[in-house]
Structure 1
Amino acid sequence: MRWDRLFDDLEAQASAEWEAERAALASESERVRLSRVSLRDRLLVLRDAKAQVRAHLTVGSAVEGRIAAVGTDWFAVDRGPASVSVVPLAALAGLRMPHADLLHSATGRAGQALRERLDLGFVVRDLARRRVPVRIEVVTGDSLTGTVDRAGADHVDLAVHDLETARHPSAVTSFRMVPFGAIAQLIVAADEAGL
């Protein structure tokens, strides 16, 4: 009888040690998995879940809405029926969302679609090709409106004019060369976004 209790006790100790070891391994595996999940991966999950977010930008402003698209170095926030903001990842200071969405986004997801491999330059060149009027908020806090004339590898040439006015030589008040690194967000009319 005493031997049965001894063996039961030893079995319980071994089982507890095994459970503790399994929990430690599972915890370490989760830490390793999370260390490989990028911000971009989490944005893709939030986009797929149609999550509402508030994106805080490095310039101090914020953009609220649903993540509509994610590229290699940018994401787009659908701000409602009026406009879409294209935000370079480098201009993002943080995201606010419900806790459940935050936890769900940690599952991560690697992008596969062509759109998810497009960089900011491609988006800006498309806006230039289609002559879409834009508002560019730059990291200095300035806000520029006009039409993208050209987009280089790392900058954009903007013909500055009122958004309500078509890009016509008489409407252009100046020209600005803006490096991609200085762009906090590009705001485009929702029906012109093409995202």
Structure 2
Amino acid sequence: MTWENDLFELFDDLESQAAASFALEREAELADRRRAEYQEVTLAARLMASVGRGLTLEVNGIGAVSGVLERVATGWLLLRGPSQDWVIREPAVTAVRGASERAVPAVAWPVVAKLGLGSALRGLADAGERCVFHVADGSRHEGVARRVGADFVEVATGEAGQIVLVPFGTLAAVQSRG
């Protein structure tokens, strides 16, 4: 019966080798799948998972801005700082520190997350709050948002009633003054 034991041992050994080979192939396939799926994750999805967390954002023309991420929406986010709030255009963000490891896909976002930058700026205009409008090149305009067009905000600067039109494409962030 020893030849039967040897044969069963050989089959067991071959089976173990096949299982190990399958496990290696499966792990490589899963790693490829994880990489392929992660390339679909957007910055906005990572930010959406970070709502409620303290973050530090690097913003074009401004530098580091820290606060608690309150809202993420289409193309912009709201960061609540200790003494001021920031409406920041997502394209102006150059780095994020403190973000969640998770991501929330766009299909799971609340309906209000579909509101564009114009909605946030219309809210500021309705409030009549004095703000600083930071442009990505580092310049800024202090004043009150009066009206919001399709792709620009009209800012009353208070300088002899001067009105400045700031295109959304150049805007980096809007900082509340209080």
Please indicate, yes or no, whether the TM-score normalized by the shorter chain is above 0.5.
yes
Q: State the distance in 2 between where 1:108 and 1:25 align.
A: 24
- Report the counterpart of residue 70 of structure 2 in structure 1: 68
- Report the counterpart of residue 17 of structure 2 in structure 1: 13
Aligned match for 2:147, one of 142, 146, 150: 150
Q: Which has the larger radius of gyration?
A: 2
Q: Relative to structure 1, is the Cα distance of residues 147 and 70 closer, same or farther in structure 2, using a 3 angstrom cutoff?
A: same
Q: Which amino acid aligns with 2:25?
A: E
- Report the counterpart of residue 177 of structure 1 in structure 2: 165
- Report the counterpart of residue 89 of structure 2 in structure 1: 88
Q: Return the offset for 1:130.
A: 2.3
Q: State the distance in 2 between where 1:51 and 1:7 align.
A: 56
- Which runs of structure 2 are paired with 1:121-160 in the superposition (5 Å)? 121-160=118-157
Q: Which amino acid aligns with 2:90?
A: L
- Report the counterpart of residue 36 of structure 2 in structure 1: 32
Q: Which amino acid aligns with 2:79?
A: V
Q: Which amino acid aligns with 1:73?
A: G
Secondary structure, counterpart of 2:141 in structure 1: strand
Q: Which amino acid aligns with 2:95?
A: G
TM-score by length of 2: 0.88
Q: State the distance in 2 between where 1:31 and 1:151 align.
A: 41
- Report the counterpart of residue 193 of structure 1 in structure 2: none
Which runs of 5 or more residues in structure 2 are unaligned? none
> Stretches of 4+ moved more than 3 A in 1?
none
Q: State the distance in 2 between where 1:10 and 1:181 align.
A: 64
Secondary structure, counterpart of 1:46 in structure 2: coil
- Report the counterpart of residue 166 of structure 1 in structure 2: none
- Report the counterpart of residue 118 of structure 1 in structure 2: 115
Q: State the distance in 2 between where 1:93 and 1:25 align.
A: 33
Larger mean Cα displacement after TM superposition, 87-96 or 173-182: 173-182
Secondary structure, counterpart of 1:13 in structure 2: helix
Secondary structure, counterpart of 2:50 in structure 1: helix
Aligned length: 173
Q: Which amino acid aligns with 1:3?
A: L
Aligned match for 2:55, one of 41, 53, 56: 53
Q: State the distance in 2 between where 1:184 and 1:37 align.
A: 23
Identity among equivalent positions (%) equals 27
